[in-house]
Structure 1
Amino acid sequence: MRHILHFTYYLAAAGLLGLIALPALAQEAGTDANESYQASSVIDTGPPLPETITVLVDQGFTFHGTFEAPDDLQGYALSYDNEPMAAYISFSSDYAVIGTLIDPQGNAVMESQLQALVLEPMREATWSAFENTRFISEGNDDASHVVYTLTDPNCPYCNALWKNSRPLIEQGVLQLRHVLVGVLSEDSLRKAAAILEFHDPVSALETHELEFRNGGIRPVEPSEESQALLRKHAQIMREAGATGTPTSYYRDEAGKVQRISGAVSTDQLREILGVE
């Protein structure tokens, strides 16, 4: 991100906004803190991009669209390394500021626009990628909730999530779909291959998780097919912006894809999914 400057400054209270600060990137389930400040709407990009935005794109940013911002600001939805962020340009200026737009009460006011243009499409693409790869499914096919989770065989937090999900799976309300990755070590790749190549992968995964503290499943040399699949899963993980395991995805009551980072307890999982 060389040559990209982040600015923090105050605008006059009577003039424009409040504070334009560094971005609070990709809040997990966030909406605007000030829900009453929703005068702006997502709009399609028509004219050519301003030079300042073009420069950002040339330096590795991805442009996703524009949105209306308060006063004389135009918002530009961007991402860098799969992290959403916004840039703002005044209609009377050629300069761009990257950051979170704050109103005089200190509330972020453009987060929903940024999510609609960047975060939601990214997560839908991740969900689609999960649906179209090979995963290991635990639980009933008619379960009311489906959760995809990126699982590394050597990840203790993945093991904790596996254990904490048992009550919901046994209750019949959760189907947990493991997308295996081998990102922690070469041993992870070999153990993931051992699970994938077993004649009953669900049973192999269960045995591994139950024996996790004793080393789990015996690693094998991955076949070409397993190597290709695990490379594909690593790519999905990168494109999703997931930085660790387990990272899990589910659909909320509105049907939007949401993300859970790390292991959560059984009670937390119930609360997140909205099940008794």
Structure 2
Amino acid sequence: MEEEMRSAKWLAPVALITSSGAIAQSTPQDRSPDLNAAAADAQRQLRQTFTNLEFEDFGPAPLKGPLYQASAGGRILYYAPESEHIIFGAVYDSSGVNITALSQDQSARKRLSSLDKESALAIGPAGARQVVEFTDPDCPYCRALDRFWNSRAAAGKMVRRLIYFVTGIHPGAAAKAEHILCSKDPETAFRAIYSGHQPDQLLTCPDGAARLAKHGSAVKSVGLTGTPTLIIGEKIISGFAQGEIETQLEGISRKTQALGPPGP
């Protein structure tokens, strides 16, 4: 939550509420006849529209005025300027479609198209499914993610990782990332660093520094707040969420099979 609050400071000094906190009980002095009638109509419509859900409490929310959608740190949020509230949550339509997720996917597509893929460190066969990965050499979850990719590769489930280094979180990350990019065999150097090996001397070079600067630009363009962060297909996955990663990869695989092999 601290990351969320820092990423939203530009909006205004606001009070945060969660998606579950958006439905609140009204106080006795708020319960005028008109309000009671409007609330009864709204509650009836809610139950008729979302018939698969059971609702317990119902009443006015603290929000006032229009609600706007914004993006911060790769996440969609909603802002009510009149009451100065931010909502971090998901919006669903009457068909059960997650509108927030669709907006996040659309945002991911825009960001992915702006990435300089030539500057990325590519690990994995060229013909394998592509995954964009933002990582930090000193991030323990990033190292766990690397072990996960290695275990999938050992099982014959290869991906091609386009790696961008995030260097603004841990003080030693930039030097280790530049060492990897300057090595004669960057993939071997990457695996050594991520397995915990500490070289006696870290390499530096103009090309590595230049590529690392481009990685910094990519991090800003995507609006990252933490590592690891993945873009798989058109979806952004924050953190080492193994189940979500596997589900997304399987979903892409099913789509590929349904489409059939590429034409000549």
- Normalising by structure 1, what TM-score? 0.58
Whole-Å separation in 1 of the counterparts to 2:173 and 2:160:
24
- 2:164, 2:218 within 8 Å by CA — same for their partners in 1? no
Whole-Å separation in 2 of the counterparts to 1:162 and 1:13:
56
Report the counterpart of residue 197 of structure 1 in structure 2. 182
**Aligned pair partner of 2:239 in 262, 271, 274:** 262
Report the counterpart of residue 183 of structure 1 in structure 2. 168
- 1:122, 1:240 within 8 Å by CA — same for their partners in 2? no
Whole-Å separation in 2 of the counterparts to 1:203 and 1:153:
14
Report the counterpart of residue 231 of structure 1 in structure 2. 213
How far is 1:6 from its partner? 4.2
- 2:76, 2:88 within 8 Å by CA — same for their partners in 1? no
Report the counterpart of residue 127 of structure 1 in structure 2. 112
After superposition, the Cα gap between the structure-2 partners of 1:4 and 1:184, relative to the gap in structure 1 and judged at 3 Å, is closer
Whole-Å separation in 2 of the counterparts to 1:187 and 1:6:
35
Whole-Å separation in 2 of the counterparts to 1:187 and 1:205:
15
Summarize deviations over 1:141-183 as a string: whole Å, max 9, x none. 222x321111222222211111111233341442222212323
- Normalising by structure 2, what TM-score? 0.60
Report the counterpart of residue 167 of structure 1 in structure 2. 151
- 1:101, 1:108 within 8 Å by CA — same for their partners in 2? no
- 1:76, 1:88 within 8 Å by CA — same for their partners in 2? yes
Unaligned 5+ runs, structure 1? 19-33, 38-72, 90-94, 252-256
Report the counterpart of residue 4 of structure 2 in structure 1. none
Report the counterpart of residue 86 of structure 1 in structure 2. 78
| Aligned residues with identical type, % of pairs | 19
How far is 1:193 from its partner? 0.9
- 2:73, 2:225 within 8 Å by CA — same for their partners in 1? no
- 1:77, 1:114 within 8 Å by CA — same for their partners in 2? no
After superposition, the Cα gap between the structure-2 partners of 1:114 and 1:159, relative to the gap in structure 1 and judged at 3 Å, is closer
Whole-Å separation in 1 of the counterparts to 2:88 and 2:148:
38
How far is 1:189 from its partner? 1.1
| Higher CA-based Rg | 2
Structure number with the higher strand fraction is 1
**Aligned pair partner of 1:77 in 54, 69, 89:** 69
Whole-Å separation in 2 of the counterparts to 1:229 and 1:141:
20
After superposition, the Cα gap between the structure-2 partners of 1:270 and 1:13, relative to the gap in structure 1 and judged at 3 Å, is farther
Letter in 1 for 2:224: A
- 1:140, 1:172 within 8 Å by CA — same for their partners in 2? no
Summarize deviations over 1:100-152 as a string: whole Å, max 9, x none. 599xxxx94468444445x2333113322445342222222222x32111122
**Aligned pair partner of 1:15 in 25, 38, 63:** 38
- 1:101, 1:109 within 8 Å by CA — same for their partners in 2? no
Whole-Å separation in 2 of the counterparts to 1:218 and 1:129:
34
* Secondary structure of 1:15 counterpart: helix
Report the counterpart of residue 246 of structure 1 in structure 2. 228
Whole-Å separation in 2 of the counterparts to 1:228 and 1:164:
29
Summarize deviations over 1:191-233 as a string: whole Å, max 9, x none. 1111111222223223333xx3332684234x34433332332
- 1:194, 1:217 within 8 Å by CA — same for their partners in 2? no
- 1:88, 1:98 within 8 Å by CA — same for their partners in 2? yes
* Root-mean-square deviation over aligned CA pairs: 3.9
How many residues align? The count is 206
After superposition, the Cα gap between the structure-2 partners of 1:172 and 1:141, relative to the gap in structure 1 and judged at 3 Å, is farther
Whole-Å separation in 1 of the counterparts to 2:146 and 2:73:
29
* Secondary structure of 2:172 counterpart: helix
Letter in 2 for 1:164: F
Q: Counterparts in 2 of 1:8-157, with a 5 A limit?
A: 12=35, 14-15=37-38, 17=42, 75-80=67-72, 83-87=75-79, 95=82, 98-100=85-87, 108-109=91-92, 112-117=98-103, 119-130=104-115, 132-143=117-128, 145-157=129-141
Unaligned 5+ runs, structure 2? 1-8, 17-21, 27-34, 51-64, 255-264
